[in-house]
Amino acid sequence: MIHNLPWLFLLLPLIVAAIDWLWFSKCPRTAATLSTLSAIATFALCVAYLNGWQTGTPDVYTWLPVAKEGMTSLSMGLVTDALAMRMMLVVTGIGSLVHIFSIGYMKGDTSNLSRYFAGLSIFMFSMSTIVLADNLAMTFIGWEMVGFSSYLLIGHWFNKDSAADAAKKAFITNRVGDFGFLIGILLTLAVFGTITFAEMGGKAAGIAPALLTATVICLFCGAVGKSAQFPLHVWLPDAMEGPTPVSALIHAATMVAAGVYMLVRLQVSMGTEAFTETACITIASVGAITAVLAALMALQQDDIKRVLAYSTLSQLGYMVMAVGLLAGEAAMFHLYTHAWFKALLFLGAGAIIVCCHHEQDIWKMGGLAKRMPLTVLCFLMGTFALIAIPGFSGFFSKEAILHAALETSPVFFWIGAGVAALTTFYMTRLCLVAFCGQARDHGAAEAKEAGPTMLLPLLALAVMAIISGYGFIADFLVPYAGFEAHGFELGLPFYVSMGSLVLGLIAAFIVYGCGKRKTDPLAGNALSTALRKRLYIDSIYDKGLIGGIQEYGAQIIEFADAALIRGMIVQGFAWLTAKIGMLLSWIQNGSLRGYALVAGIGIIIFMFILAFTIPTI
């Protein structure tokens, strides 16, 4: 019985979500409390497991049994290895803090809060399903479920057109990647003969490299969608229309990292030999392109959440690049530190937004450092971690990735270094504009320190953002079996990353001064406009892809509708019925003699059958 306890990770949030929605849809306070308690309970359970509390392997339930020999039954099982349980710590830990923060953040919101908290709980359930799944089918179920909960939460304020559109965009863009993922799962089943992670090991050696490449790249498509990699990155910045805690939990710390987690899980279970050279280069290139493009676009964003969103994209690009360089360890390290400090940044941004009366434009803020010092301090901790100032957690994980890149491929190393400089530049810009100088708008002028339910999670996350990178903690908590933090060492990666850090800092200070400027001095030229317009990628998708699909799709549908359905089926049946009716009405002419004639013909046919075709006994 007790060995089935890990199922609670899944069932508790699911049941709470159902209860929230079914019974407490009219009392949001109870719903919020229940959801928060369930998140904290799963967190406590997770901590207990990490402290070595072993209860044995949870039962595997056969979901869709297949009786035939040699076929795979679909089952539902949980893995409780270090990779999964430490990832669960990130999910439930940040999840709990976000739940607590949400209580403060959503106070006074007039929308249906029970729906919000039910959505959060459903997200916790689905994310746990991804993390704990012992086979790809179950991962896929969780994969779709997180997409669904993400849709629910992005579109929480569905009265706003932009939020509803963003929710749809996220959902549909994810579908594209999921399609590849589904093909990848089927390919895995065909190539490996199993989709259970535990049974994949050692099978890659005897398989043709082309098949392996195809399988891995198809599976990677799922990660491209979920982790918002180029070219499917467009949904993530728009997803910022959702409530900020949701952005912190789903679109910064956990769900978007699920792609990275899944890739590392595959690397661990299939073995790195399954990742052929072509597949690796593809993955790493996509990651690198995303990192560079996202960092460039972040340079000219004015919305505080959008800056962070592009930063998330860029950091996810880092992680995917690391996976492509077969440095799953470094990728998971960065995922883990990034989860803490990016959640911190988002929650800090959320606190700032609430305190500035829902103002998100950094050019309308300013001088916040004096008005809400504690929040700003926490935010700065997150920033330092993100731009990798030595001593903060991000520094260690970025070093790990740069190390791995230098060992494998110097091209990716220099790309990483360039992105690091860009990151420093845009984060410094954000801080200088928003926190220094004078308030530029009455919202910022009236800002006050956030309440305790918002500050406490911020402080907890700030602590984690500082210390989580140190070896003595990371060795126990980084979601990777047998992780060992490499000691910080002087060398080329260190010098280059320090160089890019200093370069970014100096450039930002020169351009933006100490927050005295009213507008962006870099704005106005063609490059800046292009970056603001997200390099026109979204417009191209909108006009070329979506417009084209809609136009040609409309024509196809028009054809199907008018010619096939209306012309052939509806009118065709009507025509046929009319013709048959006319024929029958000729028979049904009301003439008694006609009926007698038909009856006579019938008698003859009947007699013929009876007397001449049925053999006599």
Partner 1 sequence: MTPLAHYLIFSGILFSIGLAGVIIRKNIIVVFMCLEMMLSAANISLVAFSRAQGVNGIPVYDAQVLALFIVAIAAAEVAIGLALIVAMFRARKSVESSTLNTLKD
Partner 2 sequence: MESAISSILFYVFAVAAVLCAFGVVAFRNPVSSAMNMALCFGFTAAVYFGMGAQFLGIVQLIVYAGAILVLFLFIIMMLDVKAEEHARRSFPLACIAVIIAGIFAGFVTKVAISLPGATSGECPALVLCESIGDLAPGAVEQDTAAKNHTPYGAAMPELSPAAAAIELGADEATAAKATAFPDTKLLGKSLFTKYNIPFVILSFALLAGTVGAVALGRKLRKN
For position 587 contacting partner 2 by CB under 8 A, the verdict is no
Residue closest to 515 by CA, chosen among 444, 421, 465, 419:
444
Question: For partner 1, which is the closer residue by CB, 524 or 602?
Answer: 602
Which stretch in 143-151, 388-396, 542-550, 581-589 sits in contact with partner 1 by CB under 8 A? 581-589
DSSP state letter for 617: -
CB atoms within 10 A of CB 499: 13
For position 593 contacting partner 2 by CB under 8 A, the verdict is yes
Q: Select the binding partner of residue 208 from partner 2, partner 1, none (C-beta < 5 to 8 A, by kind).
A: none
Q: How far is the CB of 548 from partner 1 (least distance, A)?
A: 57
For position 605 contacting partner 1 by CB under 8 A, the verdict is no
The residue type of 409 is: S
Among 568, 569, 587, 607, the residue binding partner 2 under the rule CB under 8 A is: 607
Which stretch in 10-18, 35-43, 554-562, 607-615 sits in contact with partner 2 by CB under 8 A? 607-615
Q: Select the binding partner of residue 529 from partner 2, partner 1, none (C-beta < 5 to 8 A, by kind).
A: none
For position 567 contacting partner 1 by CB under 8 A, the verdict is no
Q: Select the binding partner of residue 607 from partner 1, partner 2, none (C-beta < 5 to 8 A, by kind).
A: partner 2
437: left (phi over 0), alpha (psi -120 to 50) or beta: left
Residue closest to 523 by CA, chosen among 513, 511, 514:
511
CB atoms within 10 A of CB 552: 10
For position 601 contacting partner 2 by CB under 8 A, the verdict is yes
Q: List the x/- string, 535-574, binding to partner 2 by CB under 8 A.
A: ----------------------------------------
Which stretch in 139-147, 189-197, 486-494, 605-613 sits in contact with partner 2 by CB under 8 A? 605-613
Which stretch in 126-134, 236-244, 387-395, 596-604 sits in contact with partner 1 by CB under 8 A? 596-604
Question: For partner 1, which is the closer residue by CB, 44 or 603?
Answer: 603
For position 614 contacting partner 2 by CB under 8 A, the verdict is no
Chain-centroid distance, C-alpha 231 = 15
For position 609 contacting partner 2 by CB under 8 A, the verdict is no
CA angle 310, 315, 318 (to 5 degrees): 135
Write out the H or E segment, with its range, that includes residue 586. helix 571-587
What sign for the dihedral angle of Cα 86, 91, 93, 94?
positive
DSSP state letter for 451: P
Residue closest to 41 by CA, chosen among 83, 113, 96:
96
Q: How far is the CB of 611 from partner 2 (least distance, A)?
A: 5
* Per-residue tokens: 505: 């800092």
For position 580 contacting partner 1 by CB under 8 A, the verdict is no
CB atoms within 10 A of CB 369: 18
DSSP state letter for 517: -
Q: How far is the CB of 587 from partner 2 (least distance, A)?
A: 14
Q: Select the binding partner of residue 617 from partner 1, partner 2, none (C-beta < 5 to 8 A, by kind).
A: partner 2
133 beta partners: 78
515: left (phi over 0), alpha (psi -120 to 50) or beta: left
Residue closest to 310 by CA, chosen among 324, 326, 294, 323:
294
Q: How far is the CB of 591 from partner 1 (least distance, A)?
A: 6
Q: How far is the CB of 609 from partner 1 (least distance, A)?
A: 17
What sign for the dihedral angle of Cα 162, 165, 169, 170?
positive
Among 44, 190, 527, 604, the residue binding partner 2 under the rule CB under 8 A is: 604
Among 543, 600, 605, 606, the residue binding partner 1 under the rule CB under 8 A is: 600
Could you tell me how many residues make up the chain? 617
* Per-residue tokens: 32: 């919020």
Q: Select the binding partner of residue 411 from partner 2, partner 1, none (C-beta < 5 to 8 A, by kind).
A: none
Between CA 125 and CA 42 the distance in angstroms is 10
Question: For partner 1, which is the closer residue by CB, 569 or 596?
Answer: 596
76 beta partners: 61
For position 272 contacting partner 1 by CB under 8 A, the verdict is no
78 beta partners: 133
For position 597 contacting partner 2 by CB under 8 A, the verdict is yes
Which residues contact partner 2 (rule: CB under 8 A)? 593, 597, 600-601, 603-604, 607-608, 611-612, 616-617
By the criterion CB under 8 A, which residues form the site for partner 1? 585, 588-593, 596-597, 600, 603
